[in-house]
Amino acid sequence: MTSGNTRRASTTKVLVVEDVDLEAKLLTRALEDAGYSSVEHATDLASAMEKIARGDIRLVITDLGLAGSSGLALTKSIRERELADYVYIVALTSSGERQMAECFDAGVDDFMRKPFDRLELVSRVRAGERIVALEQRLNRKSLELERALRRIDVAAAQRALALAAEPVDDKAAAGSSPLEAFAGTSSWRELESVLTKVTADFFQLPFELVSVKSDLASPFIAEIALSEPAKQLGIGIAAVVELSTMKALSMHLLGEDDLESSQALVLELANCVMGALKHAFIAHGFGFTGGLPSEATLPESRKAIDASSTRARVALRSGDSHVEIWLRVTEKKNTVVRGRALKEGFVLCQDLRDARGMLLIRSGSRLTQTAVERLVSLVPDVEVEVMSTAA
């Protein structure tokens, strides 16, 4: 075994799951010598899960060949649990790489052969520690955003009423259409700065405005829609990122550049843009609601934005990384019915609005008799808007 690790104090709690006493002591000693002051030991699946259930274990190092069970069974049990924080798992085996694919399919994050190299072990654990710390930071940011949006949604009506009583300083004149009013707001006129800030904050990099590319090859595109039922407006958001940029940004932010993680980042960027736009335009009396991001093709996105009369393409660069955000704003035609008029077989689009808020229904849903009965009981005499576009 190789020595020479640089000691660095860490309070991250690590669980060693090993039923061979000597192996467990070697693993524990290697981690403690590297500065990990909170290392615990379990010999089987039951005792390991009991410790993990406490919620403070962040990294698990497990032997795959545990007596009476296996490290794979432990991994599956951990992944099936709804834990508040992600647990990073390193699997140890003496059987070579034959089990590698099975391990990763079960949810293992890293894989090492026995006898383990002391320096390699600590390096892999430290890499896992960085991933766990990043995941915790992202969770905190997500929670903060959710709380902020919840506060915004609760206060939306009151803010809109307050703004209506104040002098209007936007270019939108009284009596203009909702689309004209939207395009005349200061938030739309200053859209580039809004998108630059949310992109820079998300990737934790400085971004600057550049020219939009006309020669995009085969980018990954995450699309998400916003809907303003009261004013019958819809916003289509497309986050457009080429593969090389996706991988570079994923490596910067997550420490890995696999395709799944890279795509997940672009989808989450679209989510963040949606949140920023909701926040920006609620100050002008526009109460947008949003859906979930999904992958789209380049021809589809180009066709959609080119067909829109009110649109924006914003291109941003940080070093060699190029990101584009495309926005299209459309007026929607809604059908209004009374709650009691809903019938079995009605095909709805994405959202129904009642007096108490928003009911979300999957786009294109066909109502069953049971669904009709439940909806009518909620909104019997309230006008319900059936959206003709899935926005």
If asked whether residues 272 and 351 sit together in one domain, one would say no
8 Å CB contact between 122 and 3: no
Q: Flag the least confident range among 9-18, 47-56, 65-74.
A: 65-74
If asked whether residues 207 and 344 sit together in one domain, one would say no
Residue-wise pLDDT tens digits, 157-181: 454 444 444 444 444 444 578 888 8
C-alpha distances in Å from residue 368, one per residue of 115, 298, 343, 344, 384: 60, 36, 8, 5, 17
C-alpha distances in Å from residue 96, one per residue of 62, 71, 101, 222: 15, 15, 12, 39
Has residue 97 got a pLDDT over 90?
Answer: no
Domain boundary among 290, 308, 331: 331
CATH number where 203 lies: 3.40.1550.10
If asked whether residues 212 and 185 sit together in one domain, one would say yes
Phi, psi for 306 (deg, rounded to 5)? -70, -25
If asked whether residues 327 and 349 sit together in one domain, one would say no
Domain count, the chain: 3
Residue 356: give the domain boundaries.
334-387
If asked whether residues 183 and 260 sit together in one domain, one would say yes
Higher-pLDDT residue of 187 and 135 is: 187
| Total residues found in the chain within this entry | 391
Has residue 225 got a pLDDT over 80?
Answer: yes
> Cβ contacts of residue 187 below 8 Å, gap of 6+?
194, 280, 281, 283, 284
Q: Residue 217: left if φ>0, alpha if ψ -120 to 50, beta else—which one?
A: alpha
Q: Residue 155: left if φ>0, alpha if ψ -120 to 50, beta else—which one?
A: alpha
Has residue 38 got a pLDDT over 50?
Answer: yes
> Cβ contacts of residue 19 below 8 Å, gap of 6+?
43, 44, 63, 66, 67
- Examine residue 178 and say whether the peptide bond preceding it is cis (omega within 30 degrees of 0): no
If asked whether residues 206 and 327 sit together in one domain, one would say yes
CATH number where 363 lies: 3.90.105
If asked whether residues 128 and 31 sit together in one domain, one would say yes
Q: Flag the least confident range among 3-17, 170-184, 300-314.
A: 170-184
Phi, psi for 65 (deg, rounded to 5)? -105, 60
If asked whether residues 327 and 342 sit together in one domain, one would say no
Express as a percent the part of the chain with pLDDT over 70: 74
Query: Would you state the pLDDT for residue 317?
Result: 93
If asked whether residues 180 and 284 sit together in one domain, one would say yes
If asked whether residues 37 and 50 sit together in one domain, one would say yes
If asked whether residues 314 and 241 sit together in one domain, one would say yes
**Alpha helix (H) residue ranges in the chain:** 21-33, 45-52, 71-80, 100-106, 118-164, 178-183, 186-189, 191-203, 243-254, 259-282, 298-306, 369-378
In a domain, 145, yes or no: no
Has residue 94 got a pLDDT over 80?
Answer: no
**Mean pLDDT along residues 278-302:** 86
Query: Would you state the pLDDT for residue 112?
Result: 86
In a domain, 348, yes or no: yes
Query: Would you state the pLDDT for residue 284?
Result: 87
CATH number where 93 lies: 3.40.50.2300
Query: Would you state the pLDDT for residue 84?
Result: 78
